[in-house]
Amino acid sequence: MFAFNLDLIRIEEETNKMVFSPKTRIAGVLVGLLAVLGISSTAMAQEWPVKTITFLNPFPAGGGTDAFARPIAAQLTEQLGKQVIIDNRGGAGGTVGASVAAKAAPDGYTWFIGASHHTIAPSMYKTLDYDIQKSFIPVALLASVPQVLVVNPGRVSARNLKDFIALMKKNPGKYNFASAGSGTVHHLAGELFKIQTGTFIVHIPYRGAGPAMSDLLAGQVDLEFDGLGTSAPQINAGKLVAIAVAADKRNPAIPNVPTFAEAGLPDYKVSTWYAMFAPAGTPKPIIDKMTAEVQKALNTPKLKAIWTSNGAETPNLYGPAFGQLVAADVNRWAEVVKKSGAKLD
């Protein structure tokens, strides 16, 4: 009986040591803190938004990014009951605005509207103070606009891809292509085409897609690898000739124009995409809530009609799956930059 009581005392002593040891106390505090933080972020998400939300657009007003950012901002304003505004911070191929967005408070009130140009920037700009894959959380792919090869019919005689490639090979360096600027998708789309076809076409960079299109229409340059949204009206008006569209399937905006694959260049696929990112550290419950609202917005008839008129596809790519696209594009364009020797002018 006495021995039994001693055993009980020993068990109690060991139990007390275990319960009140410093390590156990610290672990208990940490568990409690994490629980509080979890409850706090969840509560924050339930209350969010309580004030104006900012979409930081790293390009000037009126460009391709605005064409999608503004309609979705208006739709989300309606859905959330709080104003969603656009803050245009253009400069250096979208890298100035990206830098600002990367440093924004991760509280769910600043969202970065990036583009495929930002997957090219790491290979073109050597002193970026942000990392598109580490400084942001990928939220949603908002729109994807295929590139289309368009020519001024008064300057280029070819009307199909086979004849176009033959013409370029026969006259290396004679023809030129406009782009929205060095390091843009328009530029690298041209470099990728040259790599895949063994042609040499002179690159003429402009300060934006608008000026490039104006000079193409005026006959100051020969051709352009352009986003379908700006080219489709000119194609349908007969002012430009479309050689092929760089997508998996034909686009409803120009249904008579074949894909590059149909025309004989199966691996040439290029699109300009626009997407939403959150500054790293933004609470997951808030990201989840915004993701759900974006999905709802993209499926409204109003936005579907706008996307179609801009020649864009309505994607269904969110979170980590979208992050995989970003990583793949960073690697893809790095290879194109390396092979082509593309540089900033």
User: Which residues 6+ apart lie within 8 Å of 152 measured at CB?
Assistant: 216, 217, 219, 221, 222, 223, 240, 241
Q: Tally the domains of the chain.
A: 3
180 CB-near residues (< 8 Å, 6+ apart)? 186, 187, 205, 206, 208, 209, 212
Residue 345 lies in a domain: no
- Same domain for 150 and 140: no
Give the Cα separation of 143 and 246 in Å (integer).
15
User: Which residue is listed with tokens 């997407």?
Assistant: 275
Q: Determine the pLDDT at residue 64.
A: 81
Predicted local confidence at residue 26, as pLDDT: 46
Residue 297 lies in a domain: yes
Q: Are 71 and 77 in contact, with CB atoms under 8 Å apart?
A: no
State whether 133 and 212 are in the same domain.
no
pTM: 0.81
Q: Are residues 16 and 115 located together in one domain of the fold?
A: no
User: What is the per-residue pLDDT across 258-276, written as a single tens digit (0 to 9) for each?
Assistant: 999 999 999 999 999 999 9
Q: Are 55 and 26 members of one domain?
A: no
Q: What is the mean pLDDT of each run of 10 residues along the chain (345 residues)?
A: 40 41 43 48 78 94 87 98 95 90 98 96 94 98 96 98 98 96 92 98 88 94 92 94 96 94 96 97 98 98 92 92 98 96 86
What is the sign, positive or negative, of the torsion defined by CA atoms of 203, 206, 208, 211?
negative
What pLDDT was estimated at residue 4?
A: 37
For the domain that residue 139 is a member of, what is the CATH number?
3.40.190.150
Let me know whether 121 and 219 are in one domain: no
* CATH code of 189's domain: 3.40.190.10
Structural domain range at position 6:
2-46
Q: Could you say which of 235, 263, 291 is where a domain stops?
A: 263
Q: What is residue 45's predicted lDDT score, i.e. its pLDDT?
A: 66
Beta partners for residue 241, in sequence order: 151
Check whether residue 90 and residue 150 sit in a common domain. Answer: no
Residue 99 and residue 134 in one domain: yes
Is 24 part of any domain? yes
pLDDT given at position 12: 42
Residues 152, 88 share a domain: no
The pLDDT value recorded for residue 310 is: 86
Burial 153-191 (b: 16+ CB within 10 A, else e): eeebebeebeebbebbeeeeeebbbbbbbbbbbbbbbbb
Q: What pLDDT shows up at residue 181?
A: 85
Same domain, 157 and 207: yes
